């Protein structure tokens, strides 16, 4: 009960982008969310996705440093904020692969009970809606508690201004709403 008090404590949010691209609009949206969060939100953009190897049950006993680093980062966060591109109408394989690792051992995953929120983003008109839906489904299967509204950002390549912050009040409200939902879920846990 009440694991954080936002008047005095920090909400540690691990931000996970499903894109490995240097100029990723999904990673940029996560940075924007971090800038909007206020002093009580400490948002860290995770940079370990490329180091997570292909999942194999044969490697579960000794998964290696990439997986260990991911599990430690997730365990050390109060909540997770995902932003995913849409690849062929679903989430990118590298993100699904990382979640397959994080889902183990079955029933005792580091994701079990973890508060998570999801952003979908695409330069197209649908805002990565199908990737958002699939990522939400997978996170629930892993035992995570998905909170907040469905935030899908169409024309995401123009959604942020030169300052890296949302170009519209609508997007600003959507991002702060997800942070608020994560904070409320952590407080209520």
Ligand X SMILES: Cc1cc2nc3c(=O)[nH]c(=O)nc-3n(C[C@H](O)[C@H](O)[C@H](O)COP(=O)(O)O)c2cc1C
**Residues near ligand X (CB under 6 A):** 19, 21, 24-26, 85-89, 122-124, 126, 128
Tell me how far, at minimum, the Cβ of 17 lies from ligand X, in Å: 7
Pick 26 or 136: Cβ nearer ligand X: 26
CA end-to-end span of the chain: 5
Query: Which one, 131 or 145, has the nearer CB to ligand X?
Result: 131
Query: Distance between CA 4 and CA 34 in Å, rounded?
Result: 18
- Of the pair 14, 160, the CB lying nearest ligand X is at 160
Extended strands (E) in 33-141: 41-45, 79-84, 115-121
123 token code pair: 């330069």
CB of 76 to ligand X, least distance (A): 24
For residues 151 and 120, the answer to whether their CB atoms sit within 8 Å is yes
Nearest approach in angstroms of CB 108 to ligand X is 31
């Amino acid at each position: 009960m009440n694991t954080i008090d936002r008047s005095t404590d920090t909400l540690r949010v691990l931000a996970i982008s499903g894109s490995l691209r240097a100029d990723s609009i999904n990673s940029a949206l996560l940075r924007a969310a971090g800038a909007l969060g206020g002093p009580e939100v400490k948002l860290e953009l995770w940079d370990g996705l490329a180091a997570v190897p292909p999942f194999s049950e044969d490697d579960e006993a000794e998964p290696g440093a990439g997986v260990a680093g991911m599990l430690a980062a997730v365990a050390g966060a109060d909540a997770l904020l995902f932003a995913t591109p849409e690849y062929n109408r679903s989430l990118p394989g590298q993100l699904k692969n990382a979640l397959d690792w994080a889902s183990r051992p079955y029933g005792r995953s580091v994701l079990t009970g973890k508060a998570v929120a999801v952003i979908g983003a695409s330069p197209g008109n649908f805002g990565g809606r199908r990737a958002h839906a699939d990522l939400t489904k997978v996170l629930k299967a892993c035992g995570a508690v998905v909170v907040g509204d469905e935030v899908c950002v169409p024309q995401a390549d123009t959604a942020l201004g030169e300052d890296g912050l949302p170009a519209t009040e609508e997007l600003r409200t959507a991002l702060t709403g997800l942070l608020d939902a994560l904070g409320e879920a952590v407080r209520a846990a």
